[in-house]
Structure formats: structure tokens, C-alpha cells
Amino acid sequence: MTPIELPIRWIPKRRTHWAVALAITVVSLGVAWGGVWLATRAFGGEGGLTPTSTLFPALIVIAIYAGWRWSVGSVTLLGLTIIVLTLLNTESRISAGVWISFLLFLASAITTCILAGAVRELLIRLDEEGRARRAAETHFQESEGRFRALADSAPTLMWVTNRDRVRGFVNQAYLDFLGLPEEQALGFDWRSRLHPDDADRIAAEQIEGEASRRPFVLEARYNRADGEWRWLRSISRPRLGPDGAFEGFIGIAFDVTDAKKAEADLMRINELLAERVEATLAERDIAQAALAQSQKLEALGQLTGGVAHDFNNLLTVVIGALDIILRHPDDAARRQRMGEAAIAAARRGERLTQQLLAFSRRQPLKPENVIVDEVLAEAEPLLRRAVGENQRLTVDLQATAGIARIDPSQLEAAVLNLVLNARDAIDEGGQITLATTKTKIAQQRGDTPAGEYLAVCVTDDGEGMDAATAAHVFEPFFTTKPVGKGTGLGLSQVYGFVRQSNGSVEIDSKLGQGTTVRLLLPLAQADEVVAASDTIAPLPPAEPMKVLLVEDDADVAELVEAMLRELGHTVVAASDAHAALRKAASETEFGLMLTDVIMPGGKNGVELAREMTRLHPGLPVILSSGYTGETLAGAEQAPWPLLRKPYTIEALSQVIAETMHARTLN
């Protein structure tokens, strides 16, 4: 504090207490008059020190420290005192000029008091403003110090730029990253620290961001003071002044190198995990394939125990009957009886192969729009014979005029399987019920979509099954019967037929409460209904002709050739497609070609038929096969009739007659 400021500090900022003001007034006036008296005593009247020379400073002191009112009051009181004393002194006469001088003195004194009061107010204001300024400077310094301490303690780079893009402030992390003092860091050009691969991109993004005067983000690699490349992610925001004008940018930058590395590591982990998952899935697929192969082998073993047993029984009948016929060629009655037994056994074998194909859904069906109740009514006598006399069969057909698009013979076989299965499940005197009805499923139930269905139900009052057993009844080769009593294909054939017919199968069974198997067949609109009793009169045998027979199996070829000769035809045989083409080129024209579908040599029967009809337009063709396979499904859609093996001479004669009759119609 300077000597000049010290008196100012003592000036009261508020109204002075009257006692203090009185003391200041008395002391100031006393000092003033005392000084005059001492000077007069010391120098006589020669000193030049008059009362006015000390009075005015005293009045100024009183006005400043006690208040201008006390100063004015002092002058007024002094003036009145002088006037009273003068008037009481009658010995002397005071001239008018003295009175005028005295009054001017009083006016000057009062003016001095008022001006001193104004000076007091001015000094107080200046002191207050000085104090406020010093307080603001102190507060600003403290605030700046706190901001600096806070910014320097932050682990991120922070800076403030001006309108000219020059840094006005940087924190300690900023300085540490650059390794420069603050003076150099404020004007440092960061482009010299940018990674070459990021320089062009960052330059363009920074120009665009600063021009927009909106927040923007940059991310690039920068060379730190120690020479290490670090990823920095900076965020810049515009800085506005009190009037809202743009003043520059405030920025902050994070070191995201570790995050980048973690992201790369995570991506690598994900790649490794994906590779591991892929390898695991591959191992699972291999294991599943091995399991499936094991299950196939297990199923094959079950097939060996069931199907082989049935086929051996059938072959025993066929071989035994043929052996007896050969031993007794002249016994016509025995030959007839044994021949019929052999044919019946062969038919049973044919049905068994159809069951296998039906389960695998590869048995070709011949769907027709049929009235189901009529089909089952026609099959009722067969079903009653199958049940026998010791069990009861009730047939309740309520799906009157219910039509389904199915293969009627396969439906008969499926219902027969269900009835036989129910017969084996009940005791003597038990009850089996075959019923039909129309039903509507409002919403999808399992594999059965919503819609209208015709339900064929076979119910028995046998022991029933637990849930675990019921869950496997439609699996191939699964059976609860003793070894040798069945192949386990009965219900599998039922399931395959229904699924091929776009239907579904449901089973309800509980131990001690019997079993119900329900076939749900989609209802069809009958544009053309073929009743079960409808038959087509066979055509008369075709006229003798020259037939090209193409068959790779020598035994089958010999048998079919014998059949054709029996029908009066001339036969030219070929073992494959290429041989057939050579025969057709060298022989005279043929009236018919009968060819197998699956043959060796790289060309199947369908391809052969297409080429032969191209070379010989109008040539009638009959295809023949026991099983066409998935790869030759085109045989089903081919424009030529398909004769399925095994077949009789009557079936062969009929298909030849139908083929030749169709040719004449065309």
C-alpha cells in the first residue's frame, strides 16, 4: 500500500458515528487554531499565518473523515460565534467592507466543505472500484489457476484456439505429448506429426469441420515425443463470445491406441471363435454323420431280422412249389396248386417292397379323387377276414361323400396294416373300430396345418402304449412284437403313404386304455371322382408285331422275351441303349420298343426313348422298371406308359394293347 493510499483507506465508507465525527471536528479545529496561536506567539504578527490558512485544511479533513455536514456546521457555528462577539463589543465599529469580507470568507468556507464532501464521495468510489478490480483480478487469477490445475491434471490433451486458428491455451498433457515448452507448443503445426497414411484424410476433414463451425471429430495416428505412433481421437466444439459471436474452438483429444488394439484383438478373437465354431460344427456334422451311419447299420440289422425272415418264408414257398412242379411235371392238379402258391408268395414279396418304398416316400402313387367311404366299404370283407372270428370289428363310416385325392390301393394297404396291428394288440374277444368322419382344424397342430380333413380312425381296446413307445411306432423297423413276428414296417408304410398324400398321422395311446391311430387326409373337391367299384374293361390283345426288347438283366430279358413270344410277338433283344440303337439301325422297322429305365452304359431308358422317337417318329414305347430312383424321376412325367416290375403276362398284354390303341387314336 502506498503512502497516498493509506489516508484514503481510513475514509469511512458509511455515515460516521456522531461521537467520532464530533471528536474529529473538535480535534481538527483545535489543531487549526492551536497552530495559529503557536505561530502568533512564536513569530508575533509577522509569521503570515492567519486563521484561514489552517482553518480550510481543517474543514477539508472534517468534510472527508466526519462528513460535509459536520464541516458546514462547524463553519456556520464559527461564523455565528464571531458575529455575536462582534455585536457584543460596542467599543469598536466594524465597517461595511469588513462585513462583506467576512461573509465572503464564510461562503468560501462552506463551498470548501461541500467540495471536500464531494471529493470524499469520489475517493470512496475510486477506492471501492479499486477494491472490486483487485478482487476481480484475484478471483480471475484463482479461477485461472483452478482451471489450469484441472486441465493439467486431465490425462487428455486440451486446447483453446482463437479465430485465427492459433492456440491460445494448451494443457500439460498437450505439452507432454509434443515434448515442447508452452511457447513453442502454442504455435506448433500438428501436420508434421501426422502419420503419412492419415495426412490427406485429416487435412480434408479438418478444413470441412472448421468451416462448418459445428462440432466435429477427427481420428488419426500421431507421432508422440518419444517416437511412438499413437491413435488420437479429437473432438472440437465452437467457442462463442458473450454476444454469441464465433471466437474459435475448444478441443479435447483422447488416446485410443489401447482401444484400437483391443478392438483388433477382439476381431481376431471373433475370427478365431468363428473358426473354432466352424471346426466344432464340422466335428458335429461328422459325428452326426457317423451316428446316422450307425443308425442305418442298426436299422439294417433290424431289417435283416424281420424282412429277411419274411422273404425267406416267401422264398421257401416259391422254391418249394417250383421244386415240386419240376419233380412231378405230369401231375396237373399238383402243378396248378403249387403254381398258385408260388404266385401268391411272390405277390406278398411285392407288397413288402412297396411298403419299404412307401415309408421312404419313394413309392410312386397313383392319386385319384375317390370317395373314401366307398373304398373302405369295398375293403370291409378283407378286413373282417384279417381280424378273424375271435375279435370284433365295427365299421362306422360317417364321412359320407367325403373325397380325398389318394391312391386307393395304398389306402387299403394302410388301413389293413392298422387293423392287423390292432388285432395283435387286443386279447381274444377284444374290440376294433374303423371309423371315418370329416373334421376341421382351426390352427396348425404339430405338422398338421389348419384346414378341412377326412379322418380315418382305427381304435382298439388293447393294453395301449406309454408315451416313450408311442413316440417310436412310426419309425422304420421298430416293433414291439417278438423276433420273427414282423418287420416293423407296417406303421412306417402307413406314415409314408399319408405323408405322400399331403396328410398327417396322429396317435393317442395310454397304458390300459387302448390306442387310436388317426389318418388325416386333406379333403378334395371332386371334379372327377373314381368310385372303388368302377372298372375298365380290358382291351383285346394287340396284333402280333416286331418288338425291340431292351433289358440289361439276362434272366429278366429271357422271361420277358418268353412272355412276348407267348403273346405272338417277334422279339429282338438288346442289353443296353447303345446296342438297341445299333439294332434299330440294322433291323427292319419295329412296331414297339419295351425298355428298362435304369441301365448301364451311361444312357437310361428315358433318354433312349427320346432318341429312338426322334430317329423313328411315331414308334410306340413302353418303359419298365422296378424302381426308378430320385435321379430318374423324369420317368414318371415321361409321355410313355410305365410298366412296373414285377408284372404278369396279363399286365404286359394289357399295357401293349393300351399303347397300340392310343396310337390308333392319335
Using the predicted structure, report yes or no on whether residue 213 has a pLDDT greater than 70. yes
Using the predicted structure, report yes or no on whether residue 155 has a pLDDT greater than 50. yes
Number of residues written out for the chain:
666
Using the predicted structure, report yes or no on whether residue 487 has a pLDDT greater than 50. no
Range with lowest mean pLDDT among 39-43, 147-151, 599-603: 39-43
Q: Pick the more confident residue, 88 or 562.
A: 562
Sign of CA dihedral 416, 417, 423, 426: negative
What is the pLDDT confidence band of residue 489, given thresholds at 50, 70 and 90? very low
The DSSP code for 547 is E
What is the pLDDT confidence band of residue 589, given thresholds at 50, 70 and 90? confident
Q: Which of 615, 622, 627, 651 is nearest to 638 (CA)?
A: 622
Q: How far is CA 506 from CA 124, 356, 446, 499, 666, in A?
A: 107, 21, 10, 12, 47
pLDDT of residue 102: 64
**Rounded to two decimals, what is the model's pTM?**
0.41
pLDDT of residue 145: 73
CA triple 490-492-494, angle to 5 deg: 75
User: For residue 662, how many C-alpha atoms fall within 13 Å in the half-sphere facing its CB?
Assistant: 15
What is the pLDDT confidence band of residue 278, given thresholds at 50, 70 and 90? confident
Using the predicted structure, report yes or no on whether residue 316 has a pLDDT greater than 60. yes
What is the pLDDT confidence band of residue 484, given thresholds at 50, 70 and 90? very low
The DSSP code for 220 is E
Using the predicted structure, report yes or no on whether residue 355 has a pLDDT greater than 70. no
Using the predicted structure, report yes or no on whether residue 188 has a pLDDT greater than 50. yes
pLDDT of residue 284: 80
pLDDT of residue 291: 67
pLDDT of residue 93: 63
Using the predicted structure, report yes or no on whether residue 603 has a pLDDT greater than 60. yes
Range with lowest mean pLDDT among 125-139, 158-172, 271-285: 125-139
Q: What is the mean pLDDT of residues 353-372?
A: 64
Strands 246-255 and 157-161: antiparallel
Using the predicted structure, report yes or no on whether residue 90 has a pLDDT greater than 70. no
pLDDT of residue 231: 93
Using the predicted structure, report yes or no on whether residue 535 has a pLDDT greater than 50. no
pLDDT of residue 128: 74
| CA gap 492, 355 in Å, rounded | 8
What order of strands is seen across the sheet that includes strand 621-625? 570-574, 546-550, 592-596, 621-625, 642-644
| CA gap 531, 371 in Å, rounded | 6
What is the pLDDT confidence band of residue 578, given thresholds at 50, 70 and 90? very high
Q: What is the mean pLDDT of residues 489-504?
A: 77
Using the predicted structure, report yes or no on whether residue 483 has a pLDDT greater than 90. no
Asked if 460 and 434 touch (Cβ cutoff 8 Å), the reply is no
